[in-house]
Amino acid sequence: MKAKVDRDTCVGCGLCESVCPKVFEMNNDSIAEVIAEVITPENEACALEAQDECPVSAITVD
Collect all residues with Cβ–Cβ distance below 8 Å to 52 and sequence separation of at least 6. Answer: none
Class in CATH terms, 3-61: alpha beta
- Domain spans of the chain? 3-61
- Percentage of residues in the chain having pLDDT higher than 70: 100
CA distances (Å), origin 49, targets 29, 54, 59: 23, 8, 10
Residues 17-31, mean pLDDT to the nearest whole number: 98
pLDDT at 47: 98
User: What value does the mean pLDDT of the chain take?
Assistant: 98
pLDDT in tens, 39-48: 999 999 999 9
